Chains A and B, each alone.
Chain A
Amino acid sequence: MNPRARLSPAALVAVTIGAAIMLAPLLWTILLSLKANSELMRDTASAFSGPYTLENYRAILVGSSVTHWLLNSLIVSLGTTAGVLILCSLAGYGFARLDFPFRRSLFVFVLLGLAIPEQAVILPRHQLFAWLHLHNSYPGLILPGLVAPFGVFFMTQYFRAIPVELDEAAMLDGASRFTLFWKVLLPLTRPAQATLGVFTFLGSWNDYWWPLISATRSARFTLTVGLASAQMNYAQTSGLGFLMAQAVFASLPILIVYIIFQKQIVAAMAGAAVR
C-alpha cells in the first residue's frame, strides 16, 4: 500500500467500473430530464437518443414550486448550520475552559444525548411543537436541528486541544472573557467549524422525517418533502421528464457547491474522522 504507487491494472478497472456505477444513475437522470414527457410516456429508452429539449427546465421556472422549496431548504439548512455553530461553539468553550458548578455532570448529561436517536423523540416532539404552534414555520424546522450533542462534544474536544497558554497570554493581554473567546479561540476552531458546518448543513439539507410531519404546507416544504410529494404524485403529474428535471434542478446547487468546495468538504469530513 504505497500511497505514491500507481493502481494495479485490475484495481484500476474495478475502481473505474465502480465510478461508472456511481455516475450512470446521474447521467440517466439528466438524460430523462432532457426528453419530452410524451416520448418518455411511451418508452423511457427514448432517452438514449435525441431529440433533447430544455422544455422541462423552462417549465420549472414557469410553474413549479421547486424554486420555492429550494429557498426554504436554504433558509432551514443555513439557519440550522449557523445556529449549531454558534450554540456548539459557545457550549464547547464553556465546557472546555470555564469552571462552573456541575460542569462535569452537565457534560456527561450532554454526552448521553449522543445515544438518543431521533425516533425516540420525534413523535412527542411533534406534539410539543403543536402546542407551541411551531409547525409549518422556519423556527419549527430549524430548532430540532440545533440540538446537536455531537457538535458540543466535538467543539469541546477541539477547544480542549488548544493550549491553555493562549488563554493565559490573552488574559495578560487584557482580553475579556468574550474577547478571548471571540478573537483568540474561536478563530482557531475554524477547521472544526468547517467540519461541523458541513455535517450540519448536509444533515439538515437531507433531513426528511421531521419536515415530512412538520412542514405540511407546500409554502413551507423543504426540497426533500416537496420532491417526495412530487414523486408520490408522479402518476398524476406533468410527467417523468419534468420530475427528473426537478430532481436535477434541486440537486444542482449542492452539487455545484460540492464540486467547488470539494477539497474543503473532504478535508472537513476527514477532520471528523480523525477524532
Chain B
Amino acid sequence: MPSLELIDIRKAFGATPVLDGVSLAMEAKEFIAFLGPSGSGKSTLLRIIAGLETADSGEVRLEGERIDTLPPGRRGVAMVFQHYALYPHMSVRENMAFGLRNAKVPADEIARRVEQAAKVLEIEHQLDRKPAQMSGGQRQRVAIGRAIVKQPKLFLLDEPLSNLDAALRMRTRIELAQLRQRVDAAVIMVTHDQAEAMTLADRMVVMNERRIQQVGAPMDVYRRPANAFVARFVGSPAMTLAPATLVGDGDYARVRLGDGSEVATRVPRAGLPEGPLELGLRPEHVRVGDGDNATVDLVERLGERTLVYARLADGRAITAEDNGDSRVRIGDKVGLVIDGAAAHLFGPDGAGYHAEEPRA
C-alpha cells in the first residue's frame, strides 16, 4: 500500500499561486526529501500535508485514508519544526506527553513511550528540564522525541538541520539516518540543502516555481537532471551551463561553445529540439590541463581535490576540477579539458538530454 498520496494539489494565497497541481505517491516507509529554493512551494506542500494549510483543491491520502479533511492532530502525522517549537513553559517530559494527553492516551502508556523515546534519543536525564535550559542540539532531539512518541504514520521534518552549527549538523544527519531505520513510518523532509537531501532521502522531490521539477533517487537526479533548473540546483558546486550551438552531424550531438571550441557529447542527436541549446558540465567532467583556453578567477582547495573557477576566452564562467595538489593560481592561464561523454544538453525550454547510458 502506498504511504502518502498527493493528488493534484493546488494552492494560492490570494492572487498568488504557490502550488500548481502537485501529485506524488510515496512508498511505504519511504524517506523523501522536498528540495527547492525558498518560495518553491515545498514548505507549503509540507504544511498542507500536516493540515496547517488547506489546499484549494486536490486530495491528500495517507495509507489509503483521505486526511485533508481532518484536523492536524488526527491525521496520523508528526512534525519536527524548523525552530523546534517546543513549549517553553513545559518540561521536556510534558512537551513529549502533550500530544498524547490530547489524544487521551492512558497515562502509563504515555510514560512508557516518553521513557522509550528519551532513551533512544539519549535525553533520559533531561526529561525534567525546560527547553530554555538545553542546547540547540538537545532541543532538536526533544522535538524529534515529541514526534516519535506519537507513533505517526508519517514524519514531517521542516528544515531540521538548518538551525544547527556545522559540526552538529553532520552528527544529527547521521542520527536522522539511523532514526529512520528504527521508526516504522514514512518520512518527508523539507530542505534547501541538496547535500542533506542526497544523504538522507530515498527519493528527492525537487521543486521550483510551484511545481515538482523532478522526482527520483538522489543519484538518478544528479546524473540525469530533468531540466536546467534541477541540473543547477542539485550538485555542489553547481553544474556549469554554457550556450552551445549544434554543429556537424552524426548519431551524437556535437556542439560549439561561445569561444569557438567544440565538444562532442554522447547525447543522441535524434530527439534534440530546434533552437539554442545549453551545454551542461559538472565540474568533475572538466579537468585542468595544459593549454591556455581559460583564465583562473578563483581556486578552492578542498584537500582531496581542487575546484578551479575559470573563464573561457569569451568570458563564460566555467567550473573545473583539478587534483588535490594542484598548483594552479589565480590569474593563471590554463587549458580546460572537457569530458564530452559526460556532458548534458538542455533545450530552449530547459528540458534535459543526457548521454546514453552504457547498456549493461
Interface residues of chain A, those whose CB is within 8 Å of chain B, are 163, 165-166, 168-176, 179, 183-184, 187-188, 190
Bound together, the chains give a CA A7 to CA B354 distance in angstroms of 77
* Contact of B83 with A by CB under 8 A: yes
Which residues of the partner chain A approach B146 to less than 8 Å between Cβ atoms?
169, 173
Which residues of the partner chain A approach B213 to less than 8 Å between Cβ atoms?
none
Bound together, the chains give a CA A187 to CA B95 distance in angstroms of 14
- One digit per residue, 1 when the CB lies within 8 angstroms of any chain A CB and 0 when it does not, for chain B 76-108 equals 011101110111110000000011001100000
Q: In the complex, what residue of chain A is closest to B50 when comparing beta carbons? A: A172
Task: Tell me the minimal C-beta distance from A163 to chain B in angstroms.
Answer: 7
Which residues of the partner chain B approach A170 to less than 8 Å between Cβ atoms?
87, 98
Bound together, the chains give a CA A187 to CA B90 distance in angstroms of 9
Bound together, the chains give a CA A170 to CA B78 distance in angstroms of 11
Task: Tell me the minimal C-beta distance from B101 to chain A in angstroms.
Answer: 9
- One digit per residue, 1 when the CB lies within 8 angstroms of any chain A CB and 0 when it does not, for chain B 194-234 equals 00000000000000000000000000000000000000000
- The answer to whether A184 touches B87, judged by C-beta atoms less than 8 angstroms apart, is yes
Which residues of the partner chain A approach B51 to less than 8 Å between Cβ atoms?
171-172
Which residues of the partner chain A approach B50 to less than 8 Å between Cβ atoms?
168, 172
Which residues of the partner chain A approach B78 to less than 8 Å between Cβ atoms?
172
- Residue from B73, B83, B89 within 8 A of A175 (CB atoms): B73
- The answer to whether B52 touches A163, judged by C-beta atoms less than 8 angstroms apart, is no
Q: In the complex, what residue of chain A is closest to B53 when comparing beta carbons? A: A168
- The answer to whether A169 touches B77, judged by C-beta atoms less than 8 angstroms apart, is no
- One digit per residue, 1 when the CB lies within 8 angstroms of any chain A CB and 0 when it does not, for chain B 139-160 equals 0000000100010000000000
Bound together, the chains give a CA A166 to CA B103 distance in angstroms of 18
Bound together, the chains give a CA A209 to CA B316 distance in angstroms of 80
- Residue from B72, B83, B86 within 8 A of A172 (CB atoms): B72
Bound together, the chains give a CA A173 to CA B47 distance in angstroms of 14
Which residues of the partner chain A approach B86 to less than 8 Å between Cβ atoms?
169
* Contact of B66 with A by CB under 8 A: no
- Residue from A165, A179, A187 within 8 A of B102 (CB atoms): A179
Q: Contacts A187-B89, A188-B88, A188-B89 known; A173 to B83 CB distance under 8 Å?
A: no
Known contacts A165-B81, A165-B85, A171-B73, then 4 further A-B pairs from the complex at CB < 8 Å, ordered by chain A residue: A173-B150, A174-B72, A174-B102, A175-B102
Which residues of the partner chain B approach A187 to less than 8 Å between Cβ atoms?
89
- The answer to whether A174 touches B99, judged by C-beta atoms less than 8 angstroms apart, is yes
- The answer to whether A173 touches B81, judged by C-beta atoms less than 8 angstroms apart, is no
Which residues of the partner chain B approach A183 to less than 8 Å between Cβ atoms?
98
**A-B CB contact pairs (8 Å), 5 listed:** A165-B85, A169-B87, A172-B77, A174-B71, A190-B89
- The answer to whether A166 touches B87, judged by C-beta atoms less than 8 angstroms apart, is yes
Which residues of the partner chain A approach B47 to less than 8 Å between Cβ atoms?
168
How many chain B residues touch A (Cβ–Cβ < 8 Å)? Answer: 25
- The answer to whether B88 touches A173, judged by C-beta atoms less than 8 angstroms apart, is no
Which residues of the partner chain A approach B79 to less than 8 Å between Cβ atoms?
168-169, 172
- Residue from A163, A166, A171, A190 within 8 A of B72 (CB atoms): A171
Q: In the complex, what residue of chain A is closest to B94 when comparing beta carbons? A: A183
Bound together, the chains give a CA A120 to CA B71 distance in angstroms of 47
* Contact of B74 with A by CB under 8 A: yes
Bound together, the chains give a CA A175 to CA B52 distance in angstroms of 13
- One digit per residue, 1 when the CB lies within 8 angstroms of any chain A CB and 0 when it does not, for chain B 100-127 equals 0011000000000000000000000000
- The answer to whether B85 touches A163, judged by C-beta atoms less than 8 angstroms apart, is yes
Which residues of the partner chain B approach A168 to less than 8 Å between Cβ atoms?
47, 50, 52, 72, 79, 81, 85
- The answer to whether A172 touches B87, judged by C-beta atoms less than 8 angstroms apart, is no
Bound together, the chains give a CA A168 to CA B103 distance in angstroms of 16
Task: Tell me the minimal C-beta distance from B147 to chain A in angstroms.
Answer: 9
Bound together, the chains give a CA A81 to CA B88 distance in angstroms of 26
Which residues of the partner chain A approach B81 to less than 8 Å between Cβ atoms?
165, 168-169
Bound together, the chains give a CA A166 to CA B83 distance in angstroms of 9
Which residues of the partner chain A approach B88 to less than 8 Å between Cβ atoms?
188
Q: Contacts A165-B81, A179-B102 known; A172 to B73 CB distance under 8 Å?
A: yes
Task: Tell me the minimal C-beta distance from B52 to chain A in angstroms.
Answer: 5
Q: In the complex, what residue of chain B is closest to A162 when comparing beta carbons? A: B88
Q: In the complex, what residue of chain A is closest to B147 when comparing beta carbons? A: A172
- The answer to whether B73 touches A169, judged by C-beta atoms less than 8 angstroms apart, is no
Which residues of the partner chain B approach A169 to less than 8 Å between Cβ atoms?
79, 81, 85-87, 146
For window 48-80 of B, CB contacts with A under 8 Å fall at 50-52, 71-74, 77-79
Which residues of the partner chain A approach B87 to less than 8 Å between Cβ atoms?
166, 169-170, 184
Q: In the complex, what residue of chain B is closest to A173 when comparing beta carbons? A: B99
Q: In the complex, what residue of chain B is closest to A183 when comparing beta carbons? A: B98
- The answer to whether B52 touches A173, judged by C-beta atoms less than 8 angstroms apart, is no
- Give the interface centre of A163, A169, A174 by most chain B CB atoms within 10 Å: A169
- The answer to whether B98 touches A175, judged by C-beta atoms less than 8 angstroms apart, is yes
- The answer to whether A173 touches B89, judged by C-beta atoms less than 8 angstroms apart, is no
Bound together, the chains give a CA A187 to CA B47 distance in angstroms of 26
Which residues of the partner chain B approach A190 to less than 8 Å between Cβ atoms?
89
- The answer to whether B77 touches A173, judged by C-beta atoms less than 8 angstroms apart, is no
Task: Tell me the minimal C-beta distance from B353 to chain A in angstroms.
Answer: 42
Task: Tell me the minimal C-beta distance from A89 to chain B in angstroms.
Answer: 15
- Residue from B71, B83, B89, B150 within 8 A of A165 (CB atoms): B83
Bound together, the chains give a CA A129 to CA B106 distance in angstroms of 52
Q: Contacts A168-B52, A188-B88 known; A173 to B102 CB distance under 8 Å?
A: yes
Task: Tell me the minimal C-beta distance from B253 to chain A in angstroms.
Answer: 50
- Residue from B82, B83, B85, B103 within 8 A of A174 (CB atoms): B103
Bound together, the chains give a CA A166 to CA B82 distance in angstroms of 11
Which residues of the partner chain B approach A179 to less than 8 Å between Cβ atoms?
102
Which residues of the partner chain A approach B72 to less than 8 Å between Cβ atoms?
168, 171-172, 174
- Give the interface centre of B47, B71, B72 by most chain A CB atoms within 10 Å: B72
